[in-house]
């Protein structure tokens, strides 16, 4: 007997009209499973079902069934709020439904809506009391928490608890598990999601006492999280007790904390910690002195500077080739080579290229001269102790500005360079005072421009009212050139202060002035003032985005991006995407797309998907913005998805889109090897081709030259990262990249990209802050993280005979004659035999293939030639010396041998890949599948400066000596940089040519060497 499927619910619905309660109860129970099929029919009787739910005549289970029935009907009608309301009234019936098979989607939707409603109600209540919340809703949420905890889904429970401001649940989970990683997860969730600043600080203050005290024996992995938490809270009063608790027993950990705080902490914060540290007793005084020395920030700067000097791997041949093909008399090309040289040598203190190309240097004029002099600041960045001496010949002299024609440009550039050298060095007042005095006494706007930019960068985030007032005076002179720099600098000095008075002054002046340059400087200055202030900046953002002046709207876009930098805030992303497709100004639209990078840099793998359609826009400015968004957000990751979007854009029909694509590729592929990124060699070849092509547009060639500089930045020892090693926002890098984006209007601002260059090294220190010699292990193939091979010199064009076409008949005759000559000759015992070809088997292009084999396909008579030489197997790991380059991706593969003398006090990285014991069966021996998206792994506190525990303190140790300082490299024959000391030692010490027949001569008079060494 075949069971007929039900075609209507009319019969069951009719039972609802019966006066007998039993019929109604049966109908309600029978209708529940019929809802998915007949919901449209049942919905016509929804009023009756609701009345039955409210009726007192029915027993409680029947009323629960009526509520569940109404809830399911409303669910299928798409009325989710009504569905939730009735589900809350269904009580036991809803719980039974949740356990039933096949009801998953309905139950999930209702529970999801229950969580959303609960979160909304909890967020709206400032007191956090639960008086307004329905007890039934509260019960559902509590049951969700209980179920998550029972099933071990702690992270889900923490996510809901954070959204609903239920920190008691986080405490309950931690009491149950004592898992410190859950506290770290909670901290990252609240920092990397769009929570308000006040709630964020509340959660962080709640988490801080829950973290257990760190110890060096346990190598506490939560040290990274603690450092990031303290940097974010920005309160010295919380840091000082932690540091003092570690002294004297855990002094190495205290030093490590201090170095980690310097990585991400603001100047004002670090200064506060340093001031509040106690002097200490006799036995601890030395420790506290070292802590103050570290918190100055200068110790870190010196170590990284020394690392960049010692490991400089600049390929001078690339630079030389670019200089030779770009016409130096054209200002844009001169600036391109200047920037390329500056980026390639950033922080290495090697100005050998400039010294060897003085004639080229002399071709710079006006603003090109300004840029060239400023480039010294990029090259010597961090060399703050010698900054004034290095720039001495170019700085304005005590008597005032030089009257020599064009000298103002080199003086202004030198002042700007001085700011770049001292950026983030904590070198304090002397440099700032010098720049302030120079700016006040300068008469020319070029010198004022350089002094203002230098002051803004060196005093960044210092919030000095004196510096701000001096800049304001320069602004009020209403000089377009000086005023623009003053606008930028005012914002940089007050970085992240959200100072309303300053913001109102700047906005008022921007509305009054007629100079577009000043308006743009002030608009960007406003963006810097509200850096990281999230909802506190909303009123200013709204005001700027509704302005008629597109330059102020442009500033509004950057204010939005910097206020919510690194938060991935959905509302901010949505607003930027709307501006990108709707604003009437191309500049504003381009800025909106570029600004997406500043919001999303913590999730770089999301950016290609978001900008994919924008990269195909009809508007070239939007496409250009998409290139920079990909470059900045995915910088240093080698992300193939981003590269695949950019590669077609290098052939775009518009020159500035190609320029953006070339620059972005350089950012993304920085520190990638040919083994790790398949696009590396093709991109380098593309740069060389575009730079050398005289028919290419100047802007595209400019972009390719900048790309060459970025891909080999800092002697190939730096990456570009908007995140610090501690995982927090890298303020200097975000500011630097924001300023770099302004090169569209003003090329000298491109120098600020060096603020985003992060040295990638492991620098191990002992308790005396000296650098011992030791080795650690990289559990990966050496080629995966190797330096790029040196560039090969371009082959000179030889006018050899062109391959002439050979007719087949002629070839046949020659082949016949060759065979006849070979047969007539005396045969010798050799490996080669005369060729046995038929007349028809003649190769037109030559007689042998590239490997020396016959080209007609016949087997070679030499067995050794027939077999390909075996490729040398690559080791699965390598030993790396202290003070060496270790890229961010490589950190996951680093381990310290247990038997080694030196062991780090904290983990090198949270993203570790266990070493392989055997390489068999693995196509890439020594490389394990790293955590998902290995190229996208964050620093997570990895690398950088590590304090090492000496397991053999009684044994004498070897140290890396910093004295005498390493002399600047000079290029060698193959184009690689080599320390001058090595070059000099290779030369004979006496340079005398003797002619035995000539008479003796008198001793020479005193003379000077005609070169600078």
Q: In which band, very low, low, confident or very high, does the pLDDT at 805 lie, cut at 50, 70 and 90?
A: low
pLDDT score recorded for residue 668: 93
Do 348 and 712 touch, CB atoms closer than 8 A? no
Across the chain, what does the average pLDDT equal? Answer: 81
Judge whether 93 and 65 are in contact, CB under 8 Å: yes
In the predicted model, is pLDDT for residue 819 greater than 70?
A: yes
Distance of alpha carbon 744 from alpha carbon 734, whole angstroms? 17
Q: How confident is the model at residue 804 (pLDDT cuts 50, 70, 90)?
A: low
Q: Which residue has the tokens 């720099």?
A: 485
**For the chain, counts of helices (H) and of strands (E):** 47, 11
Q: Has residue 642 got a pLDDT over 80? A: yes
Q: Which residues, in sequence order, are bridge partners of residue 949?
A: 903
Strands 902-904 and 894-895: unpaired
Q: Is the pLDDT of residue 64 over 90?
A: no
Lowest mean pLDDT among 676-685, 716-725, 919-928: 919-928
Each residue of 757-770: pLDDT tens digit? 999 999 999 888 88
Mean pLDDT of 270-298: 85
What is the largest distance, in Å, between two alpha-carbon atoms of the chain?
141
Length of the chain measured in residues: 1013
For residue 870, the 8-state DSSP code is: P
Distances (CA, A) of 336 to 339, 367, 377, 691, 740: 5, 13, 16, 10, 14
Whether residue 950 contacts residue 764, with contact meaning beta carbons closer than 8 Å, is answered with no
Exposed e or buried b per residue across 704-732, where buried means at least 16 C-beta atoms within 10 angstroms of its C-beta: bbbbbbbbbbbbbbbbbbbbbbbbbbbbb
Query: How far, rounded to the nearest angstrom, does the alpha carbon of residue 776 sit from its chain's CA centroid?
Result: 26
pLDDT at 984: 38
Q: What is the average pLDDT across 467-492?
A: 91
DSSP readout, 816-861? HHHHHHHHHSPP---S-------TT---SS-SB-TTS-BTTSPPPS
CB 36 within 8 A of CB 75: no
**Mean pLDDT across the stretch 877-883?**
89
587 in Cβ contact with 596 (< 8 Å): no
State the CB neighbour count (10 A cutoff) for residue 467.
25
Distance, in Å, from the CA atom of 820 to the CA atom of 817, rounded to the nearest integer, reads 5
Query: What percentage of the chain exceeds 90 in pLDDT?
Result: 28
H-assigned helices in 460-537: 465-476, 480-493, 500-512, 516-529
Query: Which of 765, 761, 741 is CA-nearest to residue 751?
Result: 741
Measured CA to CA, the distance from residue 234 to residue 270 in angstroms comes to 9
Interior CA angle at 359 toward 354 and 362, to 5°? 85
DSSP summary character for residue 895: E
Q: What is the CA radius of gyration of the chain?
A: 35
Task: Fill in the DSSP letter of residue 444.
Answer: S
Q: Does the pLDDT value for residue 192 go beyond 90?
A: no
How do residues 965-994 score in pLDDT, each as one tens digit?
444 443 433 444 444 333 333 333 333 333
Least confident of 252-266, 508-522, 650-664, 988-1002: 988-1002
Q: What is the mean pLDDT of residues 554-560?
A: 95
Which position has the higher pLDDT, 926 or 713?
713
Structure tokens at 600: 């999303």
pLDDT of residue 4: 57
Is the pLDDT reported for residue 342 higher than 50? yes
Looking at residue 623, what is its pLDDT?
94
Q: Which of 762, 639, 744 lies closest to 699, judged by CA? A: 744
Distance CA 9, CA 988 (A): 105
What's the gap between Cα 27 and its chain centre? 63
* pLDDT attached to residue 912: 58
Q: Residue 799: is its pLDDT beyond 70?
A: no
939 vs 517, residue with greater confidence: 517
Per DSSP bridges, beta strands 718-720 and 878-881 are unpaired
Contacts of 888 (CB under 8 A, 6+ apart): 636, 671, 719, 721, 760, 937, 938, 939, 942, 943
Q: Which range among 217-221, 497-501, 595-599, 947-951 shows the weakest confidence by mean pLDDT?
A: 217-221
Least confident of 106-115, 558-567, 902-911: 902-911
Sheet of 944-950, strands arranged across: 884-885, 761-765, 944-950, 902-904
Note the pLDDT of residue 707.
Answer: 93
Task: Give me the percent of the chain exceeding a pLDDT of 70.
Answer: 82
């Amino acid at each position: 007997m075949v069971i007929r499927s039900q075609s209507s619910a009319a019969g069951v619905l009719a039972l609802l009209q019966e006066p007998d309660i039993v019929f109604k109860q049966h109908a309600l129970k029978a209708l529940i499973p019929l809802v998915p099929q007949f919901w449209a029919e049942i919905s016509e009787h929804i009023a009756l079902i609701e009345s039955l739910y409210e009726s007192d005549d029915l027993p409680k289970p029947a009323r629960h069934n009526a509520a569940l029935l109404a809830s399911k009907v409303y669910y299928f009608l798409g009325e989710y709020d009504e569905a939730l309301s009735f589900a809350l009234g269904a009580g036991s019936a809803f719980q039974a439904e949740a356990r039933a098979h096949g009801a998953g989607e309905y139950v999930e939707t209702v529970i999801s809506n229950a969580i959303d409603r609960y979160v909304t109600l909890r967020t709206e209540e400032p007191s956090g009391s639960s008086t307004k919340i329905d007890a039934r809703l509260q019960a559902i949420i509590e049951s969700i928490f209980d179920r998550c905890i029972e099933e071990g889904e702690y992270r889900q429970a923490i996510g809901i608890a954070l959204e609903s401001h239920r920190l008691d649940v986080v405490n309950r989970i931690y009491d149950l598990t004592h898992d410190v990683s859950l506290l770290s997860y909670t901290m990252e969730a609240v920092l990397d999601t769009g929570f308000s600043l006040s709630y964020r600080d509340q959660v962080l203050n709640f988490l801080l006492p829950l973290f257990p005290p760190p110890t060096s024996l346990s190598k506490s992995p939560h040290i990274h999280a603690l450092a990031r938490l303290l940097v974010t809270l920005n309160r010295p009063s919380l840091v000082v007790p932690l540091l003092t608790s570690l002294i004297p027993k855990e002094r190495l950990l205290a030093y490590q904390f201090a170095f980690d705080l310097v990585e991400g902490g603001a100047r004002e914060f670090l200064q506060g910690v340093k001031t509040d540290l106690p002097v200490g007793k006799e036995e601890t005084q030395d420790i506290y002195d070292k802590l103050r020395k570290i918190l100055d920030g200068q110790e870190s700067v010196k170590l990284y500077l020394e690392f960049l000097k010692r490991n400089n791997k600049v390929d001078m041949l690339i630079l030389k080739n670019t200089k030779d093909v770009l016409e130096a008399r054209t200002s844009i090309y001169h600036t391109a080579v200047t920037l390329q040289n500056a980026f390639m040598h950033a922080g290495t203190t090697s100005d050998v290229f400039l010294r060897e190309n003085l004639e080229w240097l002399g071709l710079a004029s006006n603003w090109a001269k300004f840029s060239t002099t400023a480039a010294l600041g990029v090259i010597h960045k961090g060399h703050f102790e010698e900054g004034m001496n290095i720039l001495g010949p170019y700085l304005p002299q005590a008597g005032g500005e030089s009257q020599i024609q064009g000298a103002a440009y080199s003086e202004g550039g030198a002042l700007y360079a001085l700011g770049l050298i001292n950026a983030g060095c904590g070198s304090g007042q002397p440099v700032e005072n010098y720049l302030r005095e120079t700016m006040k006494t300068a008469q020319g706007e070029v010198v004022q421009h350089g002094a203002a930019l230098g002051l803004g960068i060196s005093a960044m985030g210092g919030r000095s009212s004196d510096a701000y007032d001096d800049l304001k005076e320069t602004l009020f002179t209403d000089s377009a050139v000086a005023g623009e720099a003053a606008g930028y600098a005012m914002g940089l000095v007050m970085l992240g202060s959200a100072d309303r008075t300053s913001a109102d002054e700047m906005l008022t002046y921007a509305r009054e002035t007629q100079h577009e340059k000043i308006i743009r400087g002030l608009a960007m200055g406003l963006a810097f003032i509200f850096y990281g202030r999230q909802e506190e900046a909303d009123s200013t953002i709204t005001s700027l985005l509704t302005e008629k002046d597109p330059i102020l709207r442009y500033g509004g876009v950057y204010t939005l991006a910097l206020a919510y930098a690194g938060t991935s805030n959905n509302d901010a992303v949505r607003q930027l995407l709307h501006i990108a497709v709707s604003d009437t100004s191309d500049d504003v639209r381009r800025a909106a797309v570029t600004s997406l990078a500043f919001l999303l840099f913590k999730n770089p793998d999301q950016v290609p998907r978001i900008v994919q359609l924008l990269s195909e826009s009809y508007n070239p400015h939007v496409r250009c913005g998409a290139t920079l968004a990909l470059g900045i957000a995915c910088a240093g990751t080698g992300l193939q998805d981003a590269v695949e979007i950019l590669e077609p854009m290098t052939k775009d029909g518009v020159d500035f889109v190609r320029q953006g694509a070339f620059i972005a590729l350089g950012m993304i592929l920085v520190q990638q090897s040919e083994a790790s990124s398949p696009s590396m060699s093709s991109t380098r070849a593309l740069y060389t081709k575009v730079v050398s092509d005289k028919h290419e547009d100047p802007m595209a060639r400019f972009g390719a030259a900048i790309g060459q500089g970025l891909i080999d930045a800092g002697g190939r020892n730096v990456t570009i990262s908007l995140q610090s090693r501690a995982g927090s926002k890298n303020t200097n890098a975000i500011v630097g990249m924001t300023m770099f984006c302004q090169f569209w209007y003003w090329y000298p601002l491109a120098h600020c990209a060096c603020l985003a260059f992060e040295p990638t090294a492991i620098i191990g220190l002992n308790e005396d802050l000296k650098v011992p010699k030791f080795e650690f292990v990289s559990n990966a193939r050496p080629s995966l993280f190797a330096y790029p091979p040196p560039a090969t010199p371009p082959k000179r064009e030889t006018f050899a005979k062109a391959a002439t076409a050979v007719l087949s008949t002629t070839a046949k005759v020659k082949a016949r004659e060759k065979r006849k000559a070979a047969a007539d000759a005396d045969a010798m015992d050799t490996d080669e035999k005369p060729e046995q070809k038929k007349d028809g088997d003649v190769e037109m292009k030559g007689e042998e293939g590239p490997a020396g084999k016959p080209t007609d396909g016949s087997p070679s008579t030499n067995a050794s030639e027939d077999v390909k030489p075996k490729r040398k197997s690559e080791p699965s790991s390598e030993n790396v010396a202290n003070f060496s380059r270790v890229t961010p991706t490589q950190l996951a593969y680093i381990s310290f041998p247990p038997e080694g003398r030196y062991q780090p006090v904290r983990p090198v990285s949270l993203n570790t890949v266990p070493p392989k014991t055997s390489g068999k069966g693995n196509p890439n021996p020594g490389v394990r599948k790293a955590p998902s998206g290995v190229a996208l792994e964050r620093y997570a506190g990895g690398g950088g400066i590590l304090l090492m525990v000496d397991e053999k303190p009684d044994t004498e140790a070897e140290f890396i000596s910093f004295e005498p300082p390493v002399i600047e490299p000079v290029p060698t024959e193959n184009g690689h940089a080599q320390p001058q000391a090595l070059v000099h030692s290779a030369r004979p010490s006496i340079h005398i040519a003797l002619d035995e027949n000539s008479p003796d001569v008198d001793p020479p008079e005193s003379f000077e060497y005609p070169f600078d060494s």
